[in-house]
Amino acid sequence: MQSEAKTFRKIARLLYLCNRFRERSMLLEFVWIVVCMAVVLWGADRFTDGSCALARRLKVSELVIGLTVVALGTSLPEFIVSFMSVLRGSGDMSVGNIVGSNVFNTLVVIGASSIMLGMKVESSLLKRDLPLMFTASVMLIAFAGVNRVISLWEGLAFLGFFFIYTLIAYRIGLRDRKAAQEVAPTEQMPLWKIFLFIFIGIAALAVGGRFLVDNAAAVARKFEISESVIGITILAAGTSLPELMTSIVAARKGSEGLALGNAIGSNIFNIAFVLGICSTVSPIVVTELTLTDWVMLVGSCLLVWLLALTGRKLSRKEGVVLVLCYLVYLVLLLKG
């Protein structure tokens, strides 16, 4: 415990020093980016280990932990950005951050994880979780894409959907306890160490990811890249960096359920929980998102669903297809 806490304190000190001197030269800006990426990777590794150990301790599958605990933890940056945007009266930034992050999660996070490890897709994902992710996306289009505003009552509908989703995940966890117990190793991580790894992992992901977004945006401005492009690319991708790193680390360690569950669960959390909370605080007016954004939000869900149905797996080649689709989306945005 003392070793992990000491390492975290050193990382926090390093982040402080880099942030203090990063504006003195362009070289330090890029050094700062590398440092932040290393912090995020370290946090993702600790968070993944703690989450897998928690799944074994609770005797539930890694998929359930990925859909709930991990998804909630990695969705913290989206919640912070969207909530602060609503308080500032910027509804487009709030919803745009969620839409951009969800498209990134679906195409890049799942795509990159599939490239790392051709992943089998559990039947529960095909029958429940992917349809729920698609349903949440359709609800968002019905509320924000058609009416151009997410009202208090629509926010409550999102929270109701989130409650149902959480209840389903809980019931799946109870059902999977016996199966998870059969494959659990004899040695288990101590409970205090599990929560320490999860807490430190979330902190490193949130702090490192936030500093990385800020620094990348600063570098982009020095190269005279427009604010709209920064928001569409860096902000959306940056807030999804915890999901990306956590899923890649999980895939590298062979935790397929955790890698997929993290991305899918985060998408549901982003819409149902984040926008549900934000719109109950204040109605969210949406005016600047385009038809391309809404099509990509739903289309990416359908694409992953269809690819997963072919052989009940996502191959490395299919992962490449998903990432290429995101690159095409970026090109369309830049041209627009």
**Which domains are assigned to the chain?**
2-335 (1.20.1420.30)
Three-state SS string over 235-268 comes to: HHHHHCHHHHHHHHHHHHCCCHHHHHHHHHHHHH
* List of E strands, 69-224: 119-120, 149-150
* Predicted TM-score (pTM) of this structure: 0.77
Task: Write the single-letter amino acid at 54.
Answer: L
d(CA 151, CA 335): 32
CA distances from 8 to 1, 26, 168, 246 (A): 11, 27, 35, 18
Task: Write the single-letter amino acid at 170.
Answer: Y
Q: Walk along the chain (336 residues) and give the pLDDT tens digit of each residue.
A: 556 556 666 666 655 555 555 554 556 666 776 777 677 767 767 777 787 777 777 777 777 777 777 777 777 777 777 777 777 777 777 788 788 889 999 999 999 989 987 788 888 788 888 999 999 999 999 988 777 889 999 999 999 999 998 888 777 766 666 554 555 454 677 888 888 888 887 787 777 766 766 666 666 666 665 544 565 666 677 777 778 877 887 888 777 778 888 899 889 999 999 999 999 988 888 887 788 889 999 999 999 999 998 878 898 999 999 999 999 998 887 776
A 10 A CB-CB count for 175 gives: 13
pLDDT in the model for residue 186: 47
Let me know: does 137 contact 271? Beta carbons within 8 Å. yes
d(CA 138, CA 93): 19
pLDDT in the model for residue 18: 56
pLDDT in the model for residue 78: 75
A 10 A CB-CB count for 14 gives: 13
pLDDT in the model for residue 254: 77
Task: Write the single-letter amino acid at 204.
Answer: A
